[in-house]
Structure 1
Amino acid sequence: MMVDEGKRYGAHILAVPYPSQGHVNPMLQFCKRLVFKGAKPTFAITNFISNTMCPKSDTVSIDTISDGCDDAGFMQAENVADYLTRMEIAGSKTLEQLIQKYQDCNNPFDCIVYDAFLPWVLDVAEKYAIKGAAFFTQACAVNYVYYYAHHGLLTLPVSTPSPVELPGLPPLDLSDMPSFIYVHGSYPAYFAMVLSQFSNVEKADFVLVNTFYKLEEKVVDSMTRVCPKLLTIGPTVPSLYLDNRVENDLNYDINLFQSDSQLSTIINWLNTKPPASIVYIAFGSMDNLPKTQMEEIAWGLKNTNFDFLWTVRASDKEEKIPKDFVQASRDKGLFVHWSPQLEVLSNKAVGCFFSHGGWNSTFEALSLGVPMVVMPQWTDQTTDAKLVQDVWGVGVRVRAEADGIVRREEIEGCIREVMEGEKGKEMKRNGSKWEDLAKEAVSEGGTSDINIDFLIKIEFCVPLLVVSSADAAREILKTHDPIFSNRPRSSVASGIYDCKDIAFSPYGEYWRQVKSICVHQLLSNKKVQSFRNVREEEVSLMVEKIRTSCSERSVINLGETFASLANDIICRVALGRKYSDGEGGRKFKKVLETLGVLLGAFDVGEFIPWLVWIKYVNGMKGKVKKIAKDLDEFLEFVVKEHMDERRRNGNDGGGENRKDFVDVLLEIQRNEEGGFALDAISIKALILDMFAAGTDTTFTLIEWTLSELIRNENVTMKLKSELKNIARSSSTITEEDLDKCTYLKAVVKETLRLHPPLPLLVPRESTQDVKLFNHDIAAGTRVVINVWAIGRDPKLWEDPRKFCPERFLNSCLDFKGQFQLIPFGAGRRGCPGAAFALQIVELVLANLVLNFEFSLPGGRRGEELDMFEGEGITIHRKFPLSVIASCESACN
């Protein structure tokens, strides 16, 4: 089809159904709802379906992909597994081509709604940074049973004789379970397919279920607790039979089977019959009932003496239905090869629907208030039958004999119960109730209507809120902290360890668990103090190294010196030893620098999703892939080294006192403490966190502080005086002395005000709509806290550009409890390593200022030192801080 070049709509949504009648129709109907809402859906069907369907849709744009079986569809494959494999291979490739085609025409997709039977579609959507919405075509109750099976929460095979109880569902006997569970081991390929719906659904932006809230209220609530992105959007039944909101919406538009040429004959025949007098029989396109069962249905119908309309294949009628029954039923029944099911069910003559109980048929009957007799055959039909009879009260389930055949007496009794019994009257009343509630759900303001509105609020750009005032920061980080504690997905962090670190992982149980591990095992006050000897030893080594250069009057690159110091301390604390001397360690430091630059780089695709392709052109994607490989090589080596050490010394890693952070993580992984499992990726992501956050920000803060001290000689002299008074005759400031260093702490605070290592805090994302200062902030808004601007706000700070530590003397201003100075963030996502970093920074600065004087090369005066900033998520000096150190004054 031709693509409208340059034309934009409310939201462009690509729908990809599983290529079978029961999946194509509900998704196409959903697309027509999107049209009514002002969105632009494109319906992507397979080439085979496109060539055989009848008729074409005149309300929804249709395009095609390949399932690898273009000539004959499913029949071209050897079996189900072969078909699914072919479709994933060919479908992924042609779906990418389809996406690129619309991008090239400036009409990109904002969201892909895909059948949950095709989870690979979400992988393609993620590759192009397009939102993905999984579409579940079956009842929520059935999906929830499969969810339990997929996650191992339902032990298979089910062996208990007692009913199985799942949250939100009635007690289910084994025969009430979906057939793949009821008869465990039957149709393994189909069972694998229904379970695969949950293989990556947690990554989907939306989970759409073809039901409505009041129909399955309890199970929807239960499933939403484990799948919070769930939205009910049904019933997906043409508007004519509900509320007429979609103009000329008379049918599903697509039929994969040849229509009966005598369509008008069916409706005309029904119109001659009295109300509620017809039994309508249809068992769907997938069912193939045995001859014995067809005979029992026939004679059961004959015994009821009710008129009937029976949709049956021509071959089945000829081969399986008794000829004398057909002959005897000329005045009582009408046999057709195909029927317009919705038109039939909506006809007043129909009083009972006798079917297999598949979800589409059940949902249509429910939405039109028609009572049912259900004879389930396989897949979800057994569970649907349970709900029809015992939960919704709109039908009766026939019971089969031991040989699996339902006898004519059972069929006759069930039909009579629906058509003329007292229970049948109650079923009709219940049917009317559900019909009204179905209309309510899709009417304006109904639950499904609201959910569809929510879905199509997809914007062409991601909404962005930049916070540059302390008052607004307080609202975000304190008043509404739970709402703003999520992280937007970072393409760089995703490419490293799939956002499994503390900094970039989404707000939720995983984040809480890994943060707790890091805080208790590395960053608590008690743990920070326990590493005192490590910090003092490394600072002492650095001082001696600088002292050696004094006699040579050589130029020292302090930025490099501080980076090595921070890296060595983190290595000893987290990894048990230093790695800075080896080639691997030096490469690791270089990769960390590149990572910082990439994390701070502007990725336009994160803000304008349809421009995601730019990162493939500008090289960003390739750079991320390369550093991901380099980082993983080093961290894999570190983890393997620790595992080998554990094997040599036993599982205690050589004793409790020798355990470092990696040992602790490996122990948690092995023991699954508290039921929480750490995988290998999570372990490496948390190790990386310690370096990326701990090394970069620490040495950057030391470098900026010393730069300000070089530029402000009076501040340096005042600080040196304080330190000499505390050290007395010693040349060392210990951590014990730091509490007395009041002016030093003021100097560090003033540096953090003017030079916060992260001038823009790691972005947050709102998880629900909220009002801030009378402004409506939508869910999904990306929030950036501009710490740099707040620190220089003239409304908060007198002479804000001046370096003046005195402003913090005799002041209660600190890093917690107020929002004028928040270099480490605040609230739930505040930096947990602040105390660890500050301890290093203060110890380093105290000993440097006490022992040395620093001057600029070439005889330049201190105030001539440039203060240009570099780029990256952490703002370094653009040019390294190179100085000449002298120790004469310190020695005196």
Structure 2
Amino acid sequence: MAAPHVLALPFPAQGHVIPLMEFSHRLVQHGVKVTFVNTELNHALILGALVSKDGSSSLGGVDMVSIPDGLGDGEDRKNLARLAEAFLEVMPGELEKLIGRVSGSSVSAGGEELTWLIADASMAWAFPVARKLGLRVAAFNPVSLAMFAMRMSIPKLIRDGVVDEKGWPKRRGTFRLAPGMPPLDTTELSWNRAGDPKGQPVILDLILRNNAATHLAEAVVVSSVQELEPGAFALFPEVLTVGPLVSAEYKPAGSFWAEDDSCAEWLNAQPAGSVVYVAFGSFAIFDRAQLIELAEALALTSRPFLWVVRPDSASERWLEDLRRRAGPRGRIVSWCPQQLVLAHASTACFLSHCGWNSTVEGLVNGLPFLCWPYFTDQFLDRSYICDVWKTGLQVAPPPAIAGEAVRTVEREVIRGKIEELLGDEEIKVRALALRDVAQRAVGDDGSSRRNLTRFLDLVRGSAS
């Protein structure tokens, strides 16, 4: 029997590329050939960030190819509405041509025939393209099961009077989609918190299109753990939860920036359970006033801290100022191997934007969180951490209305929250208990291990 050959297509953003790449590594480990499709820009970033400069287009056994995203040089790819408009115009045709090239080259070289497309659920427009060319399709969700449920339930939210037909809230206050799910304020719905409010119609339209195309998928895979989200799982019991997608053995997972490997050596020199790790993902941007308040707050704690400040989020002059304020206990880096940092014995807590990848990576290492969400699904993730699992605290509330100016959080508030979190023994106990739940899921006969096997059986069934 020939090995199955899968084409993997992420949404073109760092937080989507990494979990699908991690899932691709799992498939490769079980004998599945994976060809991973990035946009041309992201493809170049990933190759440029690799330590090895051998020019290889393979990443840990995963072959990488690229297609255009429809945007020109210098256009803002953090503008999600503009990005969505561009790739909907260009990528379907480019994907069709790519599938033809990959299929032809594999067969002519005596390799595995391309049989499946696994696409990010936010790229479900690709399902009809793949089906037309004879591929079977699966949807991959790099978000919580609750967020998948929230997006799929937009018609219900409209019927229940939570939002209007344009997705905007009809009333103020919190609601739960189902018992056991996290509460969410109506002002914090992901499609209304994805950047400039003027782009909201494009974002909502993309979500609704993707929802409609999801019925073409033979399987829906979610980067989560069934036992961590029982309320959402009760709504969608057919999904295959396969998380946590965190490797005990670190492998390259498609980082857009070069990782500062010296972080590990610095952490080795710190006392156990002492370091405040600060990272806000690949999108969040703070103004200079907020960066200064955060730097001063971290210095005031008198604790060692490791702070990731992306190259695109602060000028060199700002960075010099932040390093001066950080003093000898603080280390500021542009990017780091986060999974290694979170697993290190010296790391005490995670001050985070609460992206789902970061949430799961911190959770699987039993760390308490300080939550500072920035946009989209991060507010729902914060609600899990603070209101359901009770393994963290919120630094400060976001603006009440999307597009409203963000207030600067002062240093004493931040310092106080860090001290409160690290002094709360009950939070630490709950965090360690969740770590054990997550680790059991990928152990022998764990729910995620069983679901991975089910998915592998499905994919292998198409190979001949």
Q: 2:29 aligns with which of 31, 36, 42?
A: 36
Tell me if 1:222 matches 2:231: no
Tell me if 1:121 matches 2:98: no
1:59 equivalent in structure 2: 60
Q: 1:170 aligns with which of 182, 196, 201?
A: 182
SS of corresponding position for 2:174: coil
Alignment of 1:114-513 (within 5 A): 114-149=119-154, 152-153=158-159, 154-156=162-164, 157-168=168-179, 169-178=181-190, 180=192, 185=197, 187-188=199-200, 189-224=202-237, 228=238, 230-238=239-247, 240=248, 249-260=249-260, 263-264=261-262, 266-314=263-311, 316=314, 318-320=316-318, 323=321, 326-400=323-397, 404-405=406-407, 406-419=409-422, 421-422=423-424, 425-458=425-458
Q: 2:96 aligns with which of 74, 88, 92?
A: 92
SS of corresponding position for 1:117: helix
How does the TM-score come out when normalised to structure 1? 0.46
SS of corresponding position for 1:235: coil
Tell me if 1:50 matches 2:43: yes
SS of corresponding position for 2:8: strand
Higher relative contact order (CA 8 A, sep 6+): 2
Could you tell me whether the CA contact under 8 Å between 2:224 and 2:241 is conserved in 1? Answer: yes
Distance 1:459 1:83 in 2: 27
Given the superposition, is the C-alpha separation of residues 363 and 83 from structure 1 closer, same or farther in structure 2, using an over 3 Å criterion? same
* Bigger Rg, structure 1 or 2: 1
Letter in 2 for 1:236: L
1:776 equivalent in structure 2: none
Alignment of 1:700-715 (within 5 A): none
Letter in 1 for 2:183: P
SS of corresponding position for 1:214: helix
Given the superposition, is the C-alpha separation of residues 231 and 460 from structure 1 closer, same or farther in structure 2, using an over 3 Å criterion? closer
Letter in 2 for 1:155: V
Distance 1:94 1:220 in 2: 35
Could you tell me whether the CA contact under 8 Å between 1:45 and 1:62 is conserved in 2? Answer: no
Distance 2:338 2:460 in 1: 39
Letter in 2 for 1:145: M
Given the superposition, is the C-alpha separation of residues 186 and 360 from structure 1 closer, same or farther in structure 2, using an over 3 Å criterion? farther
Could you tell me whether the CA contact under 8 Å between 1:67 and 1:88 is conserved in 2? Answer: no
Q: 1:112 aligns with which of 101, 114, 117?
A: 117
Distance 2:40 2:32 in 1: 25
Letter in 2 for 1:126: R
Q: Which has the higher helix share?
A: 1
Given the superposition, is the C-alpha separation of residues 61 and 327 from structure 1 closer, same or farther in structure 2, using an over 3 Å criterion? closer
Distance 1:127 1:387 in 2: 39
Could you tell me whether the CA contact under 8 Å between 1:110 and 1:458 is conserved in 2? Answer: no
Distance 1:83 1:209 in 2: 23
Could you tell me whether the CA contact under 8 Å between 2:386 and 2:394 is conserved in 1? Answer: yes
Q: Which runs of 5+ in 2 are unaligned?
A: 51-55, 400-404
Could you tell me whether the CA contact under 8 Å between 2:296 and 2:325 is conserved in 1? Answer: no
Distance 1:276 1:417 in 2: 15
Given the superposition, is the C-alpha separation of residues 316 and 183 from structure 1 closer, same or farther in structure 2, using an over 3 Å criterion? closer
Alignment of 1:755-770 (within 5 A): none
Could you tell me whether the CA contact under 8 Å between 2:295 and 2:326 is conserved in 1? Answer: no
Q: Sequence identity, in percent?
A: 28
Given the superposition, is the C-alpha separation of residues 412 and 179 from structure 1 closer, same or farther in structure 2, using an over 3 Å criterion? farther
Distance 1:347 1:198 in 2: 39
- Please give the per-residue CA displacement for 1:301-355, whole angstroms capped at 9, x wherever unaligned: 23222221111135626454683x6434321201111111111111111111111
Distance 2:336 2:88 in 1: 30
Letter in 1 for 2:60: T
Could you tell me whether the CA contact under 8 Å between 1:355 and 1:373 is conserved in 2? Answer: yes
Letter in 1 for 2:65: T
Distance 1:404 1:459 in 2: 46
Letter in 1 for 2:184: L
SS of corresponding position for 1:200: helix
Could you tell me whether the CA contact under 8 Å between 1:353 and 1:370 is conserved in 2? Answer: yes
Q: Which has the higher strand share?
A: 2
1:20 equivalent in structure 2: 13
Could you tell me whether the CA contact under 8 Å between 2:116 and 2:135 is conserved in 1? Answer: yes
How does the TM-score come out when normalised to structure 2? 0.85
Given the superposition, is the C-alpha separation of residues 77 and 344 from structure 1 closer, same or farther in structure 2, using an over 3 Å criterion? closer
The CA RMSD measured in Å over matched residues stands at 2.9
SS of corresponding position for 1:376: coil
SS of corresponding position for 2:169: coil
The alpha carbon displacement at 1:87 in A equals 2.2
